[in-house]
Amino acid sequence: MMLTQKIKDRKARIGVIGLGYVGLPLVIRFCEESFRVIGFDIDPVKVQKLNRGESYIKHIPPEKLKEIINKKAFEASSDYRRLKEVDCIIICVPTPLKKNKDPDLSYVKITSDEIARHLKKGHLVSLESTTYPGTTREILLPGFEAKGLKAGKDFFLVFSPEREDPGNPKYNTRNIPKVVGGITPQCTEAGKTLYEQIIDRVITVQSTEVAEFTKLLENIFRGVNIALVNELKMLADRMGIDIWEVIEASSTKPFGFMPFYPGPGLGGHCIPIDPFHLSWKAKEYDFTTRFIELAGQINTGMPDYVVARIIDGLNSDGKCLKTSKILVLGVAYKKDTDDIRESPAVEIISMLKDKGAKVDYHDPHIPSFSGMRHYPGLSMQSIPLTENSLKRYDCAVIITDHSMYDYAWLVKNSKLIVDSRNAAKSIKSRKIIKA
Ligand SMILES: NC(=O)c1ccc[n+]([C@@H]2O[C@H](COP(=O)([O-])OP(=O)(O)OC[C@H]3O[C@@H](n4cnc5c(N)ncnc54)[C@H](O)[C@@H]3O)[C@@H](O)[C@H]2O)c1
């Protein structure tokens, strides 16, 4: 049977490689549409947990996993030989940066080699991991064609960027439009057919490179605009002007303006990392991506700015950082999530500790953390948040504006509040310093 017919008939079996923030929601979506899915992950603990119906991602309820396991729609495995049992393979493995900010494509390469080993006629492979333009053609394709199979004829290869926005109540895997670009038009068509079964709107583009670049443009657009408001925030602070009020006023213009908000620095797996995939590739073309570099410099400097504002605040209370006790409120990189990856909170905590302050944190979604990539020695537990505990700190710093915080209560019971998110905007108090 033709692959596209098999997909439409729900007879095609799906393999999702990398069962994290991107892979798991995709698994669930395919199961909801009556596909049978095998999830592959090299982490045996995750595989065992999933097969027991346990979720390790806050916004994925265990009941959902149990439901798809019980109806035998899903199972997790670490055994790549089982790739032979599936028709469509979707790759969602990490694409971090190395210490020197070069892309680390080792996860993609390992996965690609494993797929090549088990590739069969009729397979459709889609790479979703964010990466530089050229990855699909330069890294995946040669290994697949070395097996004597031809793309577009014997197997199909596409790139389709992930656009997951964890915790967003309005946009989910189903209603976020999906871009697909294939190695050949036949590949694009096969990819489009697959994604159309689970996603409301699929947009096709000319090539895998266009699809790869599309994702980077989206993230660079965010990174650059956030850097712009971060820089303007520092100027506005110096001028005694409230940047948030400025942004709110500018947002009333019904055309040609889109608000971005300043903060304590970038976090998460995407915006701080992805633009540098393109900067790296640009060097091959003797091209310097100045906007990306500049935005990177400004955004990575924001934790220093927050620390400087904490020092200013303590100073006006006649205190110095070295002998102060600081409470960091929120360590997730994003409001209402439990994702701490690349969070500026961790950098701020580490800087404060280096300067001699005694630091604790509270986060309703992250009871403890340790083993962070850049801070392997840092291991902390969230403290209970009470009137008495708050009063013990010289300064409370809002890094993540989680909705569950009662900001009026926080201000009332704190000696000093440094607010990097404008979270306490509705409260008038001399105790609040914006950062
Ligand atoms: N999280 C997001 O919101 C988001 C949004 C858009 C794009 N992306 C991109 O999607 C990709 C995946 O991100 P994520 O957030 O899901 O990462 P993640 O760390 O949550 O999950 C990746 C999973 O892949 C597994 N893995 C690693 N190597 C493997 C291998 N060789 N074989 C099988 N499994 C392997 C890991 O154990 C982990 O469970 C990245 O390229 C990221 O940039 C993420």
- The total of other beta-carbon atoms located within 10 Å of residue 385's CB is 19
Q: Which residue CA neighbors atom 23 of ligand 1 most closely?
A: 18
How far are the Cα atoms of 159, 163, 214, 217, 334 from residue 130, in angstroms, in the given order? 9, 10, 10, 11, 19
Contact by Cβ (8 Å): 115, 40: no
pLDDT score at 47: 97
Rounded distance from Cα 174 to ligand 1 centre (Å): 19
Which residue, 74, 3, 2, is CA-closest to 34? 74
Helices 302-316, 344-354: axis angle to 10 degrees equals 50
Rounded distance from Cα 128 to ligand 1 centre (Å): 9
Token pair listed for 303? 């934790």
Q: Which residue CA neighbors atom 25 of ligand 1 most closely?
A: 18
Q: Which atom of ligand 1 is nearest to the CA of 43?
A: 37
Phi, psi of 14 (to 5 degrees): -105, 140
pLDDT score at 423: 97
| Residues with catalytic function | 270
The per-residue b/e assignment along 208-220, b for 16 or more CB within 10 angstroms, e otherwise, is bbebbbbbbebbb
* Residue keyed to tokens 């306490």: 424
- Which residues have a Cβ under 8 Å from the Cβ of 230 and sit 6 or more positions away? 262, 263, 298, 299, 302
Contact by Cβ (8 Å): 280, 105: no
pLDDT score at 1: 64
Token pair listed for 426? 């509705």
- Which residues have a Cβ under 8 Å from the Cβ of 157 and sit 6 or more positions away? 124, 125, 126, 136, 140, 141, 144, 151, 182, 183, 187, 208
What string of pLDDT tens digits covers the 435 residues of the chain?
699 999 999 999 999 999 998 999 999 999 999 999 999 999 999 999 999 999 988 888 999 999 999 999 999 999 999 999 999 999 999 999 998 889 999 999 999 999 999 999 999 999 999 999 999 999 999 999 999 999 999 999 999 999 988 778 899 999 999 999 999 999 999 999 999 999 999 999 999 999 999 999 999 999 999 999 999 999 999 999 999 999 999 999 999 999 999 999 998 878 889 999 999 999 999 999 999 999 999 999 999 999 999 999 999 999 999 999 999 999 999 999 889 988 999 999 999 999 999 999 999 999 999 988 789 999 999 999 999 999 999 999 999 999 999 999 999 999 999 999 999 999 999 999 999
- The total of other beta-carbon atoms located within 10 Å of residue 244's CB is 18
Measure the CA–CA gap between 384 and 367, rounded to whole angstroms: 10
Q: Which atom of ligand 1 is nearest to the CA of 163?
A: 6
The set of protein residues with a Cβ atom below 6 angstroms from ligand 1 is 17-23, 40-43, 46, 92-95, 107, 110-111, 128-130, 162, 164, 166, 269-270
Token pair listed for 74? 């899903």
- Which residues have a Cβ under 8 Å from the Cβ of 56 and sit 6 or more positions away? 46, 49
Measure the CA–CA gap between 304 and 306, rounded to whole angstroms: 5
Q: What is the pTM of this model?
A: 0.92
Token pair listed for 159? 């790139």
- pLDDT tens digit sequence for 375-395: 999 999 999 999 999 999 999
- pLDDT tens digit sequence for 189-210: 999 999 999 999 999 999 999 9
Top mutation candidate among 16, 17, 21 for ligand 1, by most atoms within 8 Å of CB? 21
Contacts made by residues 415-419, CB under 8 angstroms, sequence distance 24+? 415/317, 415/391, 416/313, 416/314, 416/317, 418/306, 418/309, 418/310, 418/313
HSE value, Cβ hemisphere, 13 Å, CA-based, for 383? 16
Top mutation candidate among 58, 269, 276 for ligand 1, by most atoms within 8 Å of CB? 269
* Residue keyed to tokens 């033709």: 2
Rounded distance from Cα 197 to ligand 1 centre (Å): 22
The per-residue b/e assignment along 397-408, b for 16 or more CB within 10 angstroms, e otherwise, is bbbbbbeebebe
Rounded distance from Cα 22 to ligand 1 centre (Å): 6
Measure the CA–CA gap between 43 and 65, rounded to whole angstroms: 18
Please state whether beta strands 368-369 and 124-127 pair in parallel, antiparallel, or not at all (unpaired): unpaired
HSE value, Cβ hemisphere, 13 Å, CA-based, for 166? 23
- Which residues have a Cβ under 8 Å from the Cβ of 128 and sit 6 or more positions away? 22, 26, 90, 91, 92, 159, 160, 161, 162
Residue 17 identity: I
How far are the Cα atoms of 327, 338, 406 from residue 395, in angstroms, in the given order? 6, 24, 17
Helices 208-239, 243-250: axis angle to 10 degrees equals 130
